[in-house]
Structure 1
Amino acid sequence: MTSRTPGTGPSRLLLALAGAGAARATLAGAAALTDRPAGAPWRRTNYAGRPVTLLGGPALALSATATAVLGAPAGARAAAAVVGTVSGLVGGYDDLAGARPEQARDKGLAGHLRALREGRVSAGAVKVAGIGTAAAVAAVLTRGRSRGAAALVDGVLTTGLVAGTANLLNLLDLRPGRAAKAGSIAAAAALAGRSGGLVAGPLGATVAVLPADLTERIMLGDCGANGLGALLGLRLAAMPGRGARTGALAVITALTLASEKVSFTRVIEATPGLRELDRLGRLPS
């Protein structure tokens, strides 16, 4: 008789279904709040001038985090809870505080650094610090048996992958469905292996919110994109082999630095295949 490892085989389908169910339930709650006074701070006008709500972000972050904890290996459950919860919370703070008029110039790394030089702490800087701290805590929680220099390298890689992926997914949240599509593809690609259960629930949750994102009823915002991205980063940090993790971190870092100079939207629109995938399911502009 063979034993089944928790979080493998059919159980990953169940986790995905649980994530989808949780996301649909939390989206229903968000819809109930949208037109009420409590939903007012979350209302925005998107790139096409259509009214949307950022409450889709908390719906995704909550459902993705809860099901990531259920599906994660025992040694990564606390880390999943920390990175998903903290990244979602500070992302939500940036969604709300970052919309204030005095924060309008504080966008991107350059904007955060300029605010600090002026003696101000931007909402984005608070978010960066929060996600970075959560990523460092996750590195400690998942350090395993490595010691000395090896433990330091592993800690840097985990911290960088969690924080970097959280930020990179958020950089993609500039058009309906873009960040959710990227997150879904990344989660689906990472389902295999011992730690694949960590992203099964988030995959289901992301697919469940994608239709509302594509039809411009919701936006993921920093809360949703950072929360989901941090969980994906934690999965990348569980890859065997420091070479693979180092390579992943190098790619994420390069893309993040490139975003300061190059428009992702312009690159996607100019690239066949990416352009069609990006537009798939979206409303006409």
Structure 2
Amino acid sequence: MGDSRARGAVSALFAAAGAARAVYDGVRRTSPGGTALWERRNHSGRVVQLCAGPAVTVGTALAVACAPALPARTRAAGVLAVLAAGACGAYDDVVGRGDGRRGFRAHLDALRSGEVTTGTIKLFGIGAAGLVAGALLKERPADKVLAGAAIAGTAHAVNLLDVRPGRAAKAVLAVAVPGLLRGGAAGVVSAATMGATAAVLGEDLGERTMLGDCGAHALGAGLGVAVAAAGGRTRLVLHATAVAAAAAVGEAAGDGAVWRELAVLRAWDTLGRRPEPAGVFSRGATPVRPGVVKRP
């Protein structure tokens, strides 16, 4: 069984990479719905495309769906969580572009004021999908809830990192390594997220594409499923606590000076990236108006 799972992980990694690359190239070439739907200006004003989001979503889900070594319930949980998170993120990418709100607090504040934002829909949609996936993975009610919190929380945490080229993708690759080394079902799902991420990493770092909410949430959900599949209650509590703390710190710090002032974070963040234009740090991605953009 161990050899079968190891082969399954290798197969999932390459299947995810191949599928993600095929989807990325197809979307980039055809731009369904028109180029304006897919183009954004990033933090530095460069034009990037959202092709990576659908690519990693489909790549991860397809690899998990086709992995022969996975138990049926883990397979179903992985496909459901990744596709639901990717779909909710894509809805926010398209309908909520230019909204400017980030994090739980901003969307919940809007909800208390009677406004249902796309982020609110995403929050509850991914949360519900996480709970259903958690129920598929675990037997006891408390464990089902913890697994759901781990899946949804990881999706949110990865999305908070997607404000600079490659930042979220590099984090996904780093976090997936322990799951891959652990093996079993967690190793297969971790391998799928790694393969899909690796397929678009070069384009993300080169500022030709970005994960967007679609890709970041999908990859985070995949990582959450891997953790939930491997973890007992103690591991789930620790992971859910760590994710909640990371999200709170991320929302408070945003993309602030900590990323420049701490040498370790600065070195990690700039690894493989193009140099920043002078004076650029706090701007986020914005929609591109058709007909007025020259590609870099």
Fold match by TM threshold 0.5 = yes
1:30, CA displacement in angstroms?
1.8
1:95 matched residue in structure 2: 93
Moved more, 220-229 or 18-27: 18-27
The equivalent of 1:178 in structure 2 is: 167
Shift, 1:68, TM fit: 2.2
Measure the CA separation in 1 of the matches of 2:121 and 2:232.
Answer: 32
In the alignment, is residue 159 of structure 1 matched against residue 157 of structure 2? no
CA shift for structure 1 position 272: 2.2
Q: Report SS of the residue matched to 1:260.
A: helix
- The answer to whether residue 241 in structure 2 is matched with residue 250 in structure 1 is yes
Q: Counterpart in 1 of 2:289?
A: none
Asked if the contact 1:61–1:228 (Cα under 8 Å) also holds between the matched residues in 2, the reply is yes
- Report how many aligned residue pairs link the two structures: 272
- Does the 8 Å CA contact 1:27/1:59 hold for their aligned counterparts? yes
Task: Give the superposition deviation at 1:244.
Answer: 1.6
* Map of 2:194 onto structure 1: 203
Q: Deviations over 1:19-49 (max 9, x none)?
A: 1111111111121134x75231221000010
* Kept in 1: contact 2:135–2:145 (CA 8 A): no
How far off is 1:284 after superposition?
1.1
For normalisation by structure 1, the TM-score amounts to: 0.90
Q: CA deviation at 1:4?
A: 5.4
What is the deviation of 1:280?
1.1
Aligned to 2:34, what secondary structure does the other structure show? helix
| 1:141 to 2:130 alignment | no
Contact 2:19–2:59 at 8 Å: present in 1 too?
Answer: yes
Please give the secondary structure, in 2, of the residue aligned with 1:213. Answer: helix
State the SS of the aligned residue for 1:52: strand
Whether 2:272 is the aligned partner of 1:281: answer yes
Match for residue 49 of structure 2 among 50, 53, 70? 53
Question: Is the CA contact 1:177–1:282 (under 8 Å) kept in the aligned structure 2?
Answer: yes
Where 1:44 maps in the other structure, the secondary structure is strand
SS at match of 1:184: helix
Identify the match of residue 67 of structure 1 among 44, 55, 63. 63
Looking at structure 1, the residues matched to 202 and 132 of structure 2 have their Cα atoms a distance apart, in angstroms, of 34
Amino acid at match of 2:116: V
Identity %: 39
After superposing the two structures, state which structure 1 stretch, 238-247 or 223-232, moved more: 238-247
Task: For residues 160-191 of structure 1, give each alpha carbon's deviation from its aligned partner in whole angstroms, at most 9, with x where no partner exists.
Answer: 10000000000000100010001011112211
Instruction: State TM-score, norm by structure 2.
Output: 0.86
Q: What's 1:148 paired with?
A: none
Q: Secondary structure at the match of 2:252?
A: coil
Moved more, 111-120 or 181-190: 111-120
CA distance in 2, matches of 1:37, 1:77: 31
| Of 17-26 and 63-72, the range deviating more from structure 2 | 63-72
